[in-house]
């Protein structure tokens, strides 16, 4: 196999931003990663670029102008004035200011007040005012829900910090330039570890993500590519990207993530399959906490192989969120750097032009290890498990190794869910079946005219509000225990039940 031409984007300033004290997202991880990449000599195997910085116009390819203007102008100093009125009186989506607001309040309040008076004066036994009953309003502010009504959802998770817009420009510009270089066939693989902020929405930030560089890069790829495949191995569901392309078949999104127990962002159920033209083009692989290398890869490879065969993408975007590693501050999977890297290697070997981006990852030293190792895989270079000397060497104590051992501590949650491994197998099987079903559906669509006579009544389109038809759901119902690989699985479950408290 010929060597891939790899373009690597890094802006030395991107590691200097701070989300704020105590915030788990630390852009500094990018500087530590880059230092390891250099000290391993991996830069010699790639073209290194200081990336273009995206401007507001680039960002508005996906985001709303209002929102980007807000990001451009808001600072930690002026945020108070920005949101003062909105915040002060807590008005917003739930409690908007509308024409005649005061008159409306006068009317419903007057009626309740007069009712009370009439009861006091024994004019009636029961007073009815159906316009009243607005029981959430407080002494100083209206309130329907306790939810944060900050206009743009900025707050603890997505704080306004010094240089926020520059930070967004840098990581977005790098992904956009990566997509351009792929389009122009300047490289086969483009790497931007500062990108991958998959939660950002059109109108607001979400989950530490402000501008969705992935969506913007995919939009660029779509100028040259008929079909783009998005693969997401972050521990969290790639909701922002899925949402952006939910209605189109030009992008297929495939996300592997922890799902359940209100784990952020709460979406990514396997029944989210896309809608309208995009129906069947969103694939979600919900997993339980504690999944290890073996189970993960066992699910990842067949799903991606099936997707490749079925979808035949001409470009791929791979989001490598490192919060799916064992021991992540926010994650709950038990993947090793080798297991995580195995997925990257698998995608690389598909030999399709690929944009590789970062994403989550909150145990800094492991993020740096993981993305350095994955850089080495992408440039086909074997690197030593001994970390080279860098200014950050102390971060990697006590082992100073590229592949840290996964300690017992990291496996606690893994042990708790060993018994649910059969679910994982079930998941892999389900998805193989699911993808096959997709292929059938697509073939059917293409060949519909050949199959059915002119007067054949084509089945009514399913209700778009129902994510999957009953008929489709029925296809997933299998006999119980069918997917238990062998007796061992049941034993594992038994072991769990007998576990010491």
The distance of closest approach from Cβ of residue 359 to Zn ion in the complex, given in angstroms and rounded to an integer, is 6
The distance of closest approach from Cβ of residue 328 to Zn ion in the complex, given in angstroms and rounded to an integer, is 9
The distance of closest approach from Cβ of residue 331 to Zn ion in the complex, given in angstroms and rounded to an integer, is 7
Q: Which stretch, 101-109, 213-221, 299-307, 354-362, contacts Zn ion (CB under 5 A)?
A: 354-362
63 assigned to active site: no
Contacts of 287 (CB under 8 A, 6+ apart): 256, 257, 258, 259, 296, 299, 333, 424, 427
Instruction: Determine how many CB atoms are found less than 10 A away from the CB of residue 107.
Output: 13
Site string for Zn ion, 157-176 (x = CB under 5 A): --------------------
Cis ω before 488 (30° cut-off from 0): no
| CB-based contact 418:497 (threshold 8 Å) | no
Query: Is 157 annotated to bind ligand?
Result: yes
Q: Which stretch, 118-126, 238-246, 360-368, 385-393, contacts Zn ion (CB under 5 A)?
A: 360-368
Site string for Zn ion, 202-231 (x = CB under 5 A): ------------------------------
Helix (H/G/I), strand (E/B), else coil: 279: coil
Q: Measure the CA–CA gap between 292 and 281, rounded to whole angstroms.
A: 27
Cis ω before 3 (30° cut-off from 0): no
Nearer to Zn ion, 29 or 236 (CB): 236
Q: Measure the CA–CA gap between 312 and 230, rounded to whole angstroms.
A: 12
Query: Is 207 annotated to bind ligand?
Result: yes
Q: Which stretch, 163-171, 276-284, 357-365, 380-388, contacts Zn ion (CB under 5 A)?
A: 357-365
Nearer to Zn ion, 264 or 484 (CB): 264
| CB-based contact 347:313 (threshold 8 Å) | no
The distance of closest approach from Cβ of residue 320 to Zn ion in the complex, given in angstroms and rounded to an integer, is 11
Out of 34, 181, 236, 369, point to the residue binding Zn ion (CB under 5 A): 236
Helix (H/G/I), strand (E/B), else coil: 316: strand
Calculate ∠ Cα 14-30-167, nearest 5°. 25
Under rule CB under 5 A, how many of the chain's residues touch Zn ion?
5
Q: Measure the CA–CA gap between 193 and 379, rounded to whole angstroms.
A: 15
Query: Is 8 annotated to bind ligand?
Result: no
Nearer to Zn ion, 278 or 327 (CB): 327
Query: Of 198, 199, 225, 410, which one is the catalytic site residue?
Result: 199
Query: Is 487 annotated to bind ligand?
Result: no
Name the residue with the smallest CB distance to Zn ion.
360
Query: Is 234 annotated to bind ligand?
Result: yes
Nearer to Zn ion, 257 or 369 (CB): 257
Q: Measure the CA–CA gap between 345 and 328, rounded to whole angstroms.
A: 22
Query: 472 vs 375, 464, 475, CA distance in Å?
Result: 40, 14, 5
Nearer to Zn ion, 222 or 241 (CB): 241
Q: Measure the CA–CA gap between 428 and 76, rounded to whole angstroms.
A: 46
Q: Measure the CA–CA gap between 40 and 256, rounded to whole angstroms.
A: 30
The distance of closest approach from Cβ of residue 275 to Zn ion in the complex, given in angstroms and rounded to an integer, is 25
Nearer to Zn ion, 35 or 212 (CB): 212
Out of 213, 234, 328, 423, point to the residue binding Zn ion (CB under 5 A): 234
Nearer to Zn ion, 220 or 239 (CB): 239
Nearer to Zn ion, 27 or 321 (CB): 321
The distance of closest approach from Cβ of residue 360 to Zn ion in the complex, given in angstroms and rounded to an integer, is 3
Strand order in the sheet with 189-192: 47-49, 6-9, 189-192, 354-357, 315-319, 228-232, 251-258, 282-287
Q: Is 232 in the site for Zn ion (CB under 5 A)?
A: no
Site string for Zn ion, 255-294 (x = CB under 5 A): ----------------------------------------
Q: Which stretch, 13-21, 356-364, 397-405, 443-451, contacts Zn ion (CB under 5 A)?
A: 356-364
Query: Is 145 annotated to bind ligand?
Result: no
| CB-based contact 405:399 (threshold 8 Å) | yes
Q: In the range 306-335, which residues lie near Zn ion by CB under 5 A?
A: 321, 323
Q: Measure the CA–CA gap between 75 and 159, rounded to whole angstroms.
A: 10
Q: Measure the CA–CA gap between 421 and 43, rounded to whole angstroms.
A: 40
Helix (H/G/I), strand (E/B), else coil: 250: coil
**What does the binding site for Zn ion look like in residue numbers (CB under 5 A)?**
234, 236, 321, 323, 360
Binding residues for substrate: 157, 207, 362
What is the set of active-site residues?
Answer: 199
Could you list the residues known to form a binding site, using ranges: 157, 207, 234, 236, 323, 362
Provide the annotated binding site for a divalent metal cation. Answer: 234, 236, 323
């Amino acid at each position: 196999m010929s060597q891939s031409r790899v373009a690597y984007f890094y802006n030395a300033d991107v590691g200097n931003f701070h989300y704020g004290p105590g915030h788990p997202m630390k852009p500094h991880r990018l500087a530590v990663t880059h230092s390891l990449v250099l000290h391993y000599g991996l830069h010699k195997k790639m073209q290194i670029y200081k990336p273009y910085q995206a401007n507001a116009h680039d960002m508005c390819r996906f985001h709303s102008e209002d929102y980007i203007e807000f990001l451009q102008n808001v600072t930690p100093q002026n945020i108070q004035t920005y949101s003062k009125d909105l915040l002060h009186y807590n008005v917003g989506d739930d409690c908007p200011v509308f024409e005649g607001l005061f008159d409306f309040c006068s009317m419903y309040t007057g009626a309740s007040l007069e009712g009370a008076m009439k009861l006091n004066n024994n004019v009636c036994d029961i007073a009815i005012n159906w316009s009243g009953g607005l029981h959430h309003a407080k002494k100083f502010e209206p309130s329907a829900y306790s939810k944060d009504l900050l206009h743009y959802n900025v707050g603890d998770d997505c704080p306004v910090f010094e240089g926020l817009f520059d930070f967004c420009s840098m990581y977005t510009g790098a992904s956009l330039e990566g997509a351009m270089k792929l389009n122009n066939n300047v490289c086969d693989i483009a790497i931007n570890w500062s990108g991958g902020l998959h939660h950002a929405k059109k109108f607001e930030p979400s989950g530490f993500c402000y501008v969705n560089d992935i969506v913007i890069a995919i939009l660029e790829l779509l100028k040259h590519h008929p079909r783009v495949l998005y693969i997401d191995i972050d521990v969290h569901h790639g909701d922002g990207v899925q949402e952006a392309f939910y209605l189109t078949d030009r992008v297929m999104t495939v996300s592997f993530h922890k799902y359940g127990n209100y784990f952020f962002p709460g979406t990514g159920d396997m029944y989210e399959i896309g809608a309208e033209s995009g129906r069947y083009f969103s694939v979600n692989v919900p997993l339980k906490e504690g999944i290890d290398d073996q189970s993960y890869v066992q699910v990842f490879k067949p799903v991606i192989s099936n997707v490749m065969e079925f979808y035949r993408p001409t470009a791929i975007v791979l989001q490598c969120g490192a919060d799916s590693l064992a021991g992540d501050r926010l994650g709950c999977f038990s993947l090793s750097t080798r297991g995580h890297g195995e997925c990257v290697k698998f995608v690389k070997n598909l030999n399709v032009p690929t944009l590789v981006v970062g994403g989550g990852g909150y145990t800094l030293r492991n993020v740096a290890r993981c993305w350095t190792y994955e850089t080495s895989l992408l440039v086909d270079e074997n690197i030593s498990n001994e970390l080279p000397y860098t200014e950050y060497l102390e971060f990697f104590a006590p082992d100073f190794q590229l592949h840290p051992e996964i300690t017992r501590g990291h496996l606690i949650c893994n042990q708790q869910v060993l018994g649910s491994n059969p679910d994982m197998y079930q998941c892999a099987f389900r998805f193989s079946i699911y993808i096959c079903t997709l292929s059938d559906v697509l073939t059917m669509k293409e060949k519909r005219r050949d199959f059915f006579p002119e007067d054949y009544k084509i089945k009514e389109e399913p209700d778009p509000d129902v994510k999957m038809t009953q008929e489709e759901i029925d296809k997933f119902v299998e006999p119980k225990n069918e997917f238990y690989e062998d007796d061992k699985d049941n034993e594992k479950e038994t072991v769990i039940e007998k576990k010491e408290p």
